[in-house]
Amino acid sequence: MWEYLQHLSFWDWLAFGTLLLILEVFGAGGYLLWVGVAAAATGVLTFLIPAMDWTWQFLAFGILSLLTVVFWWRYQHRPGANAAASGLNRRGSELIGRQFALHDAIVGGRGKVRVGDSLWLVSGPDLPAGAQVKVTGQDGVLLLVEPA
């Protein structure tokens, strides 16, 4: 083993990086991606500097691993990174503030509006079919409306 470590080539690092990236495909959740990229970068560095000692190779791999992971963590946690996901699993949230004509009259606090090719249940004051309503909120699959 000691003899193997002293004669690491760039192929060893590229193979290690490829193995980590393959393992990432099977569901590591992003943990192995950046370490695999660091291993591949160490392979490229070893190719460019073939006389690099194995201790320097491992040091370069460790530093590159830390740099890539920290870079990715900072990229993921930058201000506004989760703004696009704020409406995730809240399909009707993009309708808030828009106006629609009632498809079915609101009777007893419930009615329907047509949005594109689908009908949405609405809750609001009783109004006749065809009346213009404005979406003010959402409660699950129910849109909250008021007269426009």
CATH number at residue 108: 2.40.50.140
For residue 81, being part of any structural domain is answered with: no
DSSP letter assigned to residue 128: -
Residue 42 sits in the same domain as residue 108: no
Residue 51 sits in the same domain as residue 111: no
Residue 19 sits in the same domain as residue 72: yes
Residues of the chain with pLDDT under 50: none
Residues in the chain: 148
Per residue in 8-23, pLDDT tens? 888 999 999 999 999 9
Residue 99 sits in the same domain as residue 49: no
Q: What pLDDT, on the 0 to 100 scale, is given for residue 75?
A: 86
Residue 55 sits in the same domain as residue 116: no
Residue 113 sits in the same domain as residue 143: yes
For residue 84, being part of any structural domain is answered with: no
Q: What pLDDT, on the 0 to 100 scale, is given for residue 123?
A: 95
Structural domain harbouring 13: 2-76
DSSP letter assigned to residue 93: G
Helices (H), the chain: 2-6, 10-25, 33-48, 54-76
Residue 34 sits in the same domain as residue 99: no
Q: Write the CA distances from 18 to 13, 45, 72, 139, integer angstroms.
A: 8, 16, 19, 47
Residue 62 sits in the same domain as residue 114: no
Q: What pLDDT, on the 0 to 100 scale, is given for residue 88?
A: 62
Angle at 46 between CA 72 and CA 36, to 5 degrees: 30
Report the domain count for the chain: 2
Q: What is the CA radius of gyration of the chain?
A: 29
Q: What pLDDT, on the 0 to 100 scale, is given for residue 17?
A: 93
Q: Provide CB contacts within 8 A for 71, sequence distance 6+.
A: 34
Half-sphere exposure of 144 (CA within 13 A, CB side): 6
